[in-house]
Structure 1
Amino acid sequence: MQTPKHILAQNNVSPSLTSTINTVLNASKEIALLLQKGAMSGVLGSAEQENVQGETQKKLDVISNDLLKDMLSECPHVAGIASEEEDLPVPANADGEFLVIFDPLDGSSNIDINVTVGTIFSILPSNGNDASQEATYLQSGRNQVCAGYVLYGPSTLLVMTTGQGVDVFTLDPISKEFVLTEAQSKITPSTKEFAINMSNQRFWAEPIQNYVADMLQGEEGPLEKRYNMRWVAAMVADVHRIINRGGIFMYPWDKREPNKPGKLRLMYEGNPMAMLVEQAGGIASNSEMNILDIQPELIHQRVPVILGSKHEVEVALSYYN
């Protein structure tokens, strides 16, 4: 039985990074337990407050955020924390080596209907800089030393990379340990599935309009195959499907709010998912460049996202050219 600790040791990951990752995983186990209890634990429903994004928070958004923040603050290797639910970064330990960035509960609108949600995390080096300053966190995705997500579904899964491929672990409900269930997962390069929020179609830019229209023509269209659409409304679930069986996920720029280039956040969702997808053989782009090469300007910066199977993303990007 191989756990994340065993795989990290095999990959020569430092004890300090291993400890930091383990802290994230311990918090995720607590979140998984609360989700399993559901209404019995009193975590469902709205917290009747908004986060920095102006979105109404669920009770479990707040609880998950506090769990991660409190446990990471106690880890001596963590210099600072940034959460999608927090206005500003939170400094932790002055001597810490790492910055941990996370979306505590992606897809939280699904909580009350018992549909899959997840925790997304990204770990960056602190480089000895002041972790109370936003500028310290504004590093490109290439600097990530670890990225992953914990998927809370029929089983609780951990999908993680430290830059040496993508491994999938399943939480054993008896031992309470994550156990390796798929080593070096790879995304198939060509598929027949796409994920996009079709309700926004009228707001998309012309290239995405044309690409999706061609997919919908099926075998008779220029792409010459029949596509199925899948949409869970939780990035973590849609990306997990792609890592399992391929496909393309898109949350492109749209003209509803032109000053916000996309709905998803670069630091909390775009970068960690891009690292996982690239490590699994796929591509992640904002339509103009690889997401991992973007130099962030704001901690809550938004980014258009087109990611997934290599061939499918290349075809989508060709519509922009």
Structure 2
Amino acid sequence: MQEIIKTIEKIAVKISDELKYADLGYTDHANATGDTQLKLDVKSDNIITKEFDGVSSVRLLISEEKEEALKIHDSGKYIVAYDPLDGSSLVDVNFAVGSIFGIYENELKPSNLVAAIYCVYGPRLEMVVCTETPKLYRLDREGSFKFIKDLNLKEKGKLNATGGTQKGWSDEHRAFIKGLFDEGYRLRYSGAMVSDLHQILLKGGGLFSYPATSDAPHGKLRVSFEVLPFAFIYERAGGLTTDGNSKSLFEIKLEKIHQTTPCFFGSKYEINKLLESK
């Protein structure tokens, strides 16, 4: 596992450097879920693939930018599922974006997720690593990731990051979100999942939601390399997660690598309030 973490550190530095000067244009291709690929998406995916090629403990790579799983080492016991550059469409306006990694042991299923890591490319390069509890690291002037602090969610937060096209929301979801704003919650939503969830986690609590909508009834965010890694982190930070009905996003039955789901991540208060409103 330490070799995987060190590899992701190298990847984060390389992608962060690439973001400063890379071509921001689109390719002529779409990924497995139909999104037109940015050149940066492909470049980031290639960096990750190349770095993991030398890690013998990793058997498979599963990426948002790859149609199928890529086998790299027959004898490896880990599967690394990742979004190489979450929020890449925001790079041209200089917003913070990130990379998300879920590390599964032996088989791609929720109960086999053993670690989750994400990187944030903003004014500072930060990385959150979670095996037992989420820990924040920051790149220093000498080029090393230094431990900053453990991350914990309070019982109740103040931030509300809610996604999906609002005209596609259900009346139920619209009423729930309005209720939080009526309580004094502040809107914080950039459109980059990594950045929005990172802010809630560092500020101590709140809600991130991407519900089912009329145009995306099964949600938009991908289970294996976006949803479950953050569910792993949030639940170990003392928060809760749900698809809107379940007691945990880990109740999902993962049937395909690009499967999507509605998802809610937050402090206990917000998630319990959501489930009680059903």
TM-score range, shorter chain: over 0.9
Structure 1 match to 2:211: 252
CA distance in 2, matches of 1:201, 1:118: 24
Structure 2 match to 1:120: 100
| Higher share of residues assigned strand | 2
Structure 2 match to 1:99: 79
**Structure ID, larger Rg:** 1
For the pair 1:266 / 2:223, whether they are aligned, the reply is yes
Structure 2 match to 1:275: 232
CA distance in 2, matches of 1:21, 1:309: 27
Identity %: 32
Q: Hey, which bits of structure 1, 4+ residues long, moved more than 6 A?
A: none
Structure 1 match to 2:30: 50
For the pair 1:152 / 2:136, whether they are aligned, the reply is no
1:187 to 153, 156, 164: 153
Q: How does 1:52-71 map to 2 (within 5 A)?
A: 52-71=32-51
User: For residues 67-100 of structure 1, what are the alpha-carbon distances to aligned partners after superposition, in whole Å with 9 as ceiling and x for unaligned?
Assistant: 1012112211111100011000000111112111
Structure 2 match to 1:31: 15
Amino acid at match of 1:307: F
Greater shift, 249-258 or 115-124, is seen at: 249-258
- TM superposition shift of 1:201: 2.2
CA change 1:304–1:95 in 2 (3 A) is same
CA distance in 2, matches of 1:185, 1:215: 24
Amino acid at match of 1:296: L
Structure 2 match to 1:167: 135
Structure 2 match to 1:11: none
CA distance in 2, matches of 1:288, 1:319: 10
- TM superposition shift of 1:284: 1.1
Amino acid at match of 1:212: I
CA distance in 1, matches of 2:23, 2:51: 19
Equivalent residues of 1:242, 1:309 under 8 A apart: no
- TM superposition shift of 1:202: 2.6
Amino acid at match of 1:276: I
TM-score normalised by the chain length of structure 1: 0.83
TM-score normalised by the chain length of structure 2: 0.95
Structure 2 match to 1:214: 179
Unaligned runs of 5+ in 2: none
Structure 1 match to 2:194: 236
Equivalent residues of 1:82, 1:88 under 8 A apart: yes
- TM superposition shift of 1:195: 0.7
- TM superposition shift of 1:153: 0.5
Q: How many residues align?
A: 276
Q: CA RMSD in A?
A: 1.3
For the pair 1:292 / 2:257, whether they are aligned, the reply is no
Amino acid at match of 1:179: K
User: For residues 21-49 of structure 1, what are the alpha-carbon distances to aligned partners after superposition, in whole Å with 9 as ceiling and x for unaligned?
Assistant: 211221111001112x33xxx33222232
